[in-house]
Amino acid sequence: MKEAFKSLDGSRQYEIFAAAMAEFGEHGFKKASTNRIVKRAGMSKGMLYYYFDNKQSIFDDALDFALDHIENYMLYDITTKKEGFIERCARLSHIKYVYFKAHPEISKFITSVYFSDDLNEVQQERNAAFLENRQRILFDNLDMDRFRDDIDHQTAIKLVSWTINGYTQEMEHMMKAEGLDFEHFDEYFEDFDHYLAALRKLYYKEEYQ
């Protein structure tokens, strides 16, 4: 981004990035329109190019902003307190849900990027590092004693992970096919909680179910 954009008030920067992310999230990079971006942002096209070089630079800077925002406002206060693996999954999912509800434009943009081929090599590497950090948070400092003694703990983690990943992939495929329906996120997470309760009965000792 150009120095002129950096000098803007933070709230105005967010408004412009939100407009760009909404456009890219809905239409993808190739079909995204700078005309619609400036209309969403309430600015002239000349001013847009005063802040950015071209559509590619808008996309690149919006992606950097989105990843930074997620790390600073969603992941920054996630403490890896000792807890069961299923509880960890549930807690992280709830944090993600609250963030998605508060910042739908970022969430929709990041989700659309995940399904696209629009990332360059540097962006792919950053995204991989982001996912690696998320995995670290997921597995750090787990209370393994909640698992039943007659099940190997690592096997239980794999089975729980496969179940959760399977549900997540099913939800992602549905979102990709039908569109991202953030109005029905409550329903998605109610179903998720139902599956987590079933997993506790399958893999935890009775006192932790």
Give residue-wise pLDDT tens across range 49-64.
999 999 999 999 999 9
pLDDT number for residue 20: 96
Query: Where do the domains of the chain lie?
Result: 3-58, 68-208
Question: Residue 104 in contact with residue 184, Cβ under 8 Å?
Answer: no
Q: What is the pLDDT of residue 133?
A: 80
Structure tokens at 162: 């496969």
Find out whether 37 and 20 touch, Cβ atoms under 8 Å.
yes
Phi-psi region of 33 (alpha: psi -120 to 50; beta: other; left: phi over 0): beta
Residue 194's pLDDT is 83
Question: Is the domain 3-58 a CATH 1.10.600.10 member?
Answer: no
First-to-last CA distance in the chain?
A: 51
Q: What pLDDT, on the 0 to 100 scale, is given for residue 189?
A: 65
Task: Pull the structure tokens for residue 92.
Answer: 């992280």
- Per-residue tokens: 174: 């549905």
SS3 label, residue 142:
strand
With vertex at residue 172, the alpha carbon angle to CA 168 and CA 178, rounded to the nearest 5 degrees, is 145
Cβ-based neighbour number of residue 48 at 10 Å:
21
For helices 85-102 and 121-139, the axis angle rounded to 10 degrees is 130
- Tens of pLDDT along 173-186? 766 666 655 566 66
Task: Give the residue among 30, 65, 50 at the shortest CA–CA distance from 38.
Answer: 50
What pLDDT was estimated at residue 59?
93
The CA dihedral of 101, 27, 123, 119, to the nearest 10 degrees, is 140
The maximal CA–CA distance of the chain, rounded, in angstroms, is 67
Q: What is the CA radius of gyration of the chain?
A: 20
Question: The CATH number of 68-208 is which of 1.10.405, 1.20.120, 1.10.357, 1.20.58?
Answer: 1.10.357
What residues of the chain score a pLDDT lower than 50? none
How far apart CA 167 and CA 200 sit, in angstroms, is 16
